[in-house]
């Protein structure tokens, strides 16, 4: 009998809480498809780095389990509250508490199972789709094919499912056990009108601002620049400050806003403000803890998406600075032929270009440079103007011109400030009998392989190098096909053995590679692996966080529509038209949806600003981070908007029925 | 002067051969500064009548003219505006918003009417003093008694100076003491503040406070009593007599 009731109730819940069931199904689907992908041989074989994907996914899945557990626990609590009268009635009729608990748990397990089973089918479809994207990133050939290794992903999904439900259902069981008939029958009537004093909420509000600003400042001071390690204790402290600040803000903001509103008649008595703000503050009071947690989730979401978009851009630019040419080899000129012959076997060669670096016995620039900016080589590297222009051309950059009495410096963005600082000292340099004037200092599109071990090169008119010592030889090969990770390994095999020498003082053998080899394909593969793992996991997490937040707020709003339907009919009788009431509803929902989002947006902005201290040298411009903040906000809001619309239309339907 | 004129009002439910005639050709008028009670048992059509006058229910045929405007011809938007300007409501279950204080609940109808923001507080203070609720203005509805809630609702209905106040079983949820206080308030509103009140009730005691009582049965007007110079006690006895004639069980309806 109870089982039958359980089925019937589950069926009813499915209809009433469709948005929740759909969200859980989406979450399980994502979980399953990522399990499938991270265990797929096709994907793991893409690059040596991809093996990590599997382990990262397990870790991420556990976080998702935690968040999903939060959602499911919240929803079960909510469904229980809505149906408390019904349970009270069962108890009144003499049904044992144990049986009611069993029935309720049974119902929720059915809902969970429906989501889980659906997720297996949807997950397979989604995983083929995501696989095709990943394979596409690696330029690997792709045929639509179903995953082959099902066993481990299914076991993982089942495992996560049981962990979540075991914990949540134990919590539920304990919750029911503690309740009495009276509580159940009057559960809804429980008033949450515990008045917090105005002063207290204002103090909390100020404290929250202090904590947040403090946290952001500490954070900003720890992330100063490249190579300066942040102090983990400080970062941890900043995170604690931010978390506390977020919760305190949510706890006190509504009350502070309310007392502000009540003080200003102009705002208080304007349109529907009074009604909206009162409803809002009552709402916040009843669920401030959940709202605080949601705010925290949104903060994580935004930071995750911003970070991942930022990283993508960094990788693109890094590729341009480390390996813009298909193959770059720095070795002795007489060895070049063997590399070229080898490459010719598998690749069609578009162009071969060799150039030389030149040195002097005095290092005008390196000796003046601040120690922080000096490379390990410590020698000024000169390049002929014609060679330099050719290097630019191969990167699709326009050439520069120099008169025969000018020179030019190209630096990496990290050394730029150092060179700029000594600009006055190096206005002119004397080489041989010639005095060269500094024409310009450029820090854009620098390539580190131009001068190994230095952060800058000096470009001089071709004839000047006659007065310089010829140094390292470099070979650049432009191939028709895209190079691979494998070619890098093969070319490394061709190198002469490492040059080793024993230091007479401490008897330790120091070895140097006889040549430096940069194959674009190798960097591409590494970057793509890191990017894929990072992007997919962060977006996966961000997506789950967003839909969990959206669901909870949407469900709460729909709940309001049911509970406060009467209020809207009062407003209607008092003379607000249907149109005006819907406008009030939209306004209310907007505030309600935006409230947990405001702070995360601000925090995300400042955290990104701090991270930019480190990443700016690798990014196209100093303001590039703004576009990442914008992009992540848009992505988040797009999904969030769907939940807002669902909430609004459900609300509307409820009022009209 | 006539504030309300209802003529040949019909309201049918259902279709074809299964029609319920909730209101069957009802006509009456309410003049300025009148306190009219409409009595009838459950299902007699009295609430339907009130709802049609309140503009929250439509009619099948007939006209309702309030202050010279035929509300049966207005659209949704116009009706809202009409309610806002011309009507005040008092309901059985108070219909106050729990999240607002008593003061804010009363102010709500002024806010909706876009009253000058600086005048709102003073208007609320004035009306509350008249209705004896100035002490509880800063409290929330759940902190005050049923009688106080209903006086708050009355204040909200009255504060706009509506042409017509519609009350639906206003004493329905009150104990006898609070019911008496409220009815005295209604009487004062009618006599001192010159409010025109149309009250629907099934309770003879409540009806005896009105100046005139209309009895409805099966959607038609069955009888009419005018208080005139009679004492309230005599009027009450008269009402009871009619109710006995009506055949309604007093306690049941």
A407: helix, coil or strand?
strand
Contact A577 B80 (CB under 8 A): yes
Residue B253 in any domain: the answer is no
For residue A83, pLDDT over 80 is answered with: yes
Asked if A274's CB is within 8 angstroms of B100's CB, the reply is yes
Distance between CA B24 and CA A74 in Å, rounded? 53
For position A176, what pLDDT does the model report?
A: 83
Residue A144 banded pLDDT, cuts 50, 70, 90: low
Q: Whole-angstrom Cα distance, residue A555 to residue B43?
A: 38
Residue B252 located in a structural domain: no
Q: Could you tell me the two tokens for A628? A: 């990442």
- Nearest Cβ partner of A269 from B56, B99, B107? B107
Instruction: Name beta bridge partners: A327.
Output: A477, A519
Query: For the residues A188-195, what does the mean pLDDT come to?
Result: 52
- The DSSP secondary structure of A351-392, one letter per residue, reads EEEEEEEEE-SS-HHHHHS-GGG--SS----EEEHHHHHHHH
- Look at chain B and report how many structural domains it folds into: 1
Chain B residues touching chain A at CB-CB below 8 Å:
54, 56, 76-77, 79-85, 87, 89, 95, 97-100, 104, 107-113, 115, 117-118, 120-121, 140, 142, 156
Helix (H) or strand (E) holding B81: helix B76-86
- Average per-residue pLDDT for chain A: 85
Dihedral of alpha carbons A411, A417, A419, A423, sign: positive
Residue A44 burial by Cβ neighbours in a 10 Å radius (0-12, 13-18, 19+): middle
- Grouping H, G, I as helix, E, B as strand and the rest as coil, residue A151 is helix
Which of B99 and A210 is assigned the larger pLDDT?
A210
- A576 and B84 within 8 Å at the Cβ level: the answer is yes
Q: For the CA atoms of A547, A549, A552, A558, what is the dihedral angle to 10 degrees?
A: -80
CA A98 to centroid of chain Cα atoms: 45
Percentage of chain A with pLDDT > 90?
Answer: 26
For an interface test with B, give the residue of A573, A584, A655 to mutate (most B CBs within 10 A): A573
Shortest alpha-carbon distance between residue B67 and chain A (Å):
17
Indicate whether B68 belongs to any domain.
yes
* Residue appearing with tokens 């202090």: A210
Residue B218 to residue B230: CA distance in whole angstroms:
29
Full residue range of the structural domain in which residue B239 is found? 2-246
C-beta separation of A135 from A145 below 8 A? no
A interface residues, B as partner, C-beta within 8 Å: 191, 193, 265-266, 268-272, 274-275, 278-279, 281-282, 566-567, 570-580
The reply to whether B45 falls in a domain is yes
CA distance A314 to A455: 18
Q: How confident is the model at residue A87 (pLDDT cuts 50, 70, 90)?
A: confident
- pLDDT confidence tier of residue A187, bands split at 50, 70 and 90: low
Q: Residue B37's pLDDT band (boundaries 50, 70, 90)?
A: very high
CA distance A549 to A564: 22
B115 interaction partners in chain A (CB closer than 8 Å): 269
pLDDT for residue A321:
76
Q: Is the pLDDT score of A360 beyond 70?
A: yes
3-state secondary structure of A411: strand
CB A346 within 8 A of CB A547: no
Which of B191, B170, B179 has the alpha carbon at shortest distance from B37? B170
**How close does chain B come to A240, measured CA to CA in Å?**
34
Residue (of A116, A152, A117, A115) closest to A40 by Cα position: A152
Q: What does DSSP say about strands A469-479 and A349-359: parallel, antiparallel, or unpaired?
A: antiparallel
Q: Please indicate, yes or no, if residue B51 is contained in any of the structural domains.
A: yes
Q: Could you report the per-residue pLDDT of A115-126, keeping only the tens digit for each?
A: 999 999 999 999
Q: What is the DSSP letter of A483?
A: P
- Average confidence score pLDDT of chain B: 88
Domain assignments of chain A as residue spans, ordered by start: 1-190, 327-481
The pLDDT value recorded for residue A614 is: 77
Residue B251 lies in a domain: no
d(CA A291, CA A591): 13
The mean per-residue pLDDT over the stretch A494-508 comes to 79
CA–CA separation, B136 and B159 (whole Å): 17
Q: What is the pLDDT of residues A626-654, one digit of tens each?
A: 888 898 889 899 999 999 999 999 888 88
Global pTM reads 0.78
| CATH code where residue B135 lies | 3.40.50.300
Contacts of B82 in chain A (CB under 8 A): 575
Name the token pair of A504. Answer: 């007479």
Q: Do B107 and A274 touch (CB under 8 A)?
A: yes
pLDDT of residue A191: 47
Q: Which residues of B touch A579 (CB under 8 A)?
A: 77
User: What pLDDT shows up at residue B252?
Assistant: 39
């Amino acid at each position: 009998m109870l089982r039958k009731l359980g089925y019937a109730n589950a069926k009813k819940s499915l209809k009433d809480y469709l948005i929740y069931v759909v969200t859980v199904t989406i979450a399980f689907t994502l979980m399953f498809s990522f399990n499938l992908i991270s265990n797929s041989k096709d994907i793991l074989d893409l690059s040596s780095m991809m093996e990590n994907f599997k382990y990262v996914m397990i870790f991420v899945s556990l976080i998702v389990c935690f968040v999903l557990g939060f959602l499911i626990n919240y929803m079960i609590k909510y469904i229980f509250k809505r149906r408390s009268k019904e349970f009270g009635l069962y108890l009144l009729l003499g049904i044992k508490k144990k049986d009611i608990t069993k029935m309720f748990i049974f119902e929720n397990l059915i809902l969970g199972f429906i989501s889980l089973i659906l997720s297996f089918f949807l997950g397979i479809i989604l995983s083929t789709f995501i696989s095709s994207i990943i394979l596409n990133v690696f330029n690997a050939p792709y045929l639509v094919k179903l995953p082959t290794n099902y066993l481990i992903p299914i076991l993982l999904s089942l495992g996560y499912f049981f962990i979540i439900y075991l914990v949540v259902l134990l919590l539920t069981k304990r919750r029911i056990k503690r309740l009495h008939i009276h509580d159940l029958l009057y559960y809804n009537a429980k008033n949450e009108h515990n008045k917090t004093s105005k002063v207290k909420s204002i103090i909390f509000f100020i404290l929250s601002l202090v904590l947040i600003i403090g946290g952001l400042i500490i954070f900003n001071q720890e992330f100063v620049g490249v190579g300066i390690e942040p102090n983990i204790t400080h970062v941890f402290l900043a995170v604690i400050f931010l978390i506390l600040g977020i919760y305190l803000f949510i706890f006190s903001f509504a009350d502070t806003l309310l007392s502000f509103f009540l003080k200003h008649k102009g705002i208080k008595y304007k349109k529907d403000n009074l009604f909206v703000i009162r409803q809002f503050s009552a709402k916040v009071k009843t669920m401030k803890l959940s709202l605080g947690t949601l705010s925290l989730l949104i903060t994580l979401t935004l930071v995750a998406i911003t970070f991942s978009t930022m990283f993508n851009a960094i990788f693109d630019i890094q590729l341009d600075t480390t390996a813009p040419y298909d193959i770059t080899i720095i070795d002795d000129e007489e060895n070049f032929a063997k590399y070229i012959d080898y490459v010719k076997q598998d690749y069609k060669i578009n162009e071969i270009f060799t150039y030389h670096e030149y040195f002097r016995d005095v290092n005008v620039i390196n000796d003046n440079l601040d120690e922080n900016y000096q490379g390990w080589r410590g020698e000024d590297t000169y390049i002929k103007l014609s060679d330099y222009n050719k290097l630019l051309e191969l990167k699709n950059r326009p050439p520069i011109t120099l008169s025969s009495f000018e020179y030019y410096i190209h630096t990496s963005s990290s050394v730029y400030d150092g060179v700029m600082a000594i600009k006055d000292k190096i206005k002119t340099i004397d080489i041989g009998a010639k005095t060269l004037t500094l024409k310009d200092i450029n820090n854009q599109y620098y390539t580190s392989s131009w001068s190994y071990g230095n952060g800058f090169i000096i470009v001089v008119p071709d004839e000047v190098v006659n007065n310089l010592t010829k140094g390292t030889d470099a070979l650049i090969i432009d191939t028709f096909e895209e190079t691979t990770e494998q070619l890098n390994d093969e070319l490394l095999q061709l190198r002469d053995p490492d040059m080793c020498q024993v230091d007479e003082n401490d008897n330790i053998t120091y070895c140097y590679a006889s040549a430096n080899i940069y194959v674009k394909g190798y960097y591409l593969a590494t970057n793509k692996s890191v990017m894929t793992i990072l992007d997919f996991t962060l977006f996966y997490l961000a997506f789950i966080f967003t839909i969990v937040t959206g669901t909870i707020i949407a469900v709460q709003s729909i709940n309001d529509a049911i509970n406060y339907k009467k209020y809207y009919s009062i407003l209607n009788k008092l003379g607000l038209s249907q149109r005006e009431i819907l406008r009030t509803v939209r306004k209310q929902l907007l505030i309600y949806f935006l409230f947990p989002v405001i702070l995360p947006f601000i925090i995300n902005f400042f955290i990104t600003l701090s991270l930019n201290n480190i990443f700016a040298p690798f990014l196209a411009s100093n303001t590039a981070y703004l576009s990442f903040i914008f992009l992540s906000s848009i992505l988040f809001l797009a999904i969030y908007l769907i939940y807002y619309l669902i909430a609004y239309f459900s609300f509307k339907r409820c009022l009209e029925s | 002067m006539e504030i309300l004129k209802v003529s040949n009002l019909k309201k049918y439910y259902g279709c074809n051969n299964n029609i319920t005639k909730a209101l069957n050709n009802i006509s009456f008028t309410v003049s300025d500064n009148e306190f009219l009670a409409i009595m009838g048992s459950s299902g007699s059509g009295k609430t339907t009548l009130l709802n049609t006058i309140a503009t929250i229910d439509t009619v099948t045929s007939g006209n309702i003219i309030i202050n010279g405007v035929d509300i049966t011809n207005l659209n949704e938007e116009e009706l809202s505006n009409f309610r806002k300007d011309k009507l005040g409501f008092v309901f059985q279950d108070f219909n106050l918003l729990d999240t607002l204080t008593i003061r804010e609940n009363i102010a709500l109808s002024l806010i909706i009417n876009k009253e000058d923001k600086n005048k709102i507080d003073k208007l609320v203070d004035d009306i509350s003093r008249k209705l004896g609720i100035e002490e509880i203005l800063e409290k929330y509805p759940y902190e005050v008694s049923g009688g106080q809630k209903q006086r708050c609702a009355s204040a909200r209905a009255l504060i706009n100076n509506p042409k017509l106040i519609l009350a639906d079983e206003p004493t329905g949820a009150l104990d006898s003491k609070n019911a008496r206080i409220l009815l005295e308030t209604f009487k004062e509103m009618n006599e001192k503040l010159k409010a025109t009140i149309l009250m629907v009730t099934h309770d003879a005691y409540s009806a005896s406070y009105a100046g005139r009582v209309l009895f409805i049965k099966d959607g038609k007007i069955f009888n009419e009593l005018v208080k005139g110079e009679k004492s309230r006690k005599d009027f009450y006895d008269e009402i009871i007599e009619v109710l006995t004639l009506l055949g309604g069980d007093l306690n049941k309806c």
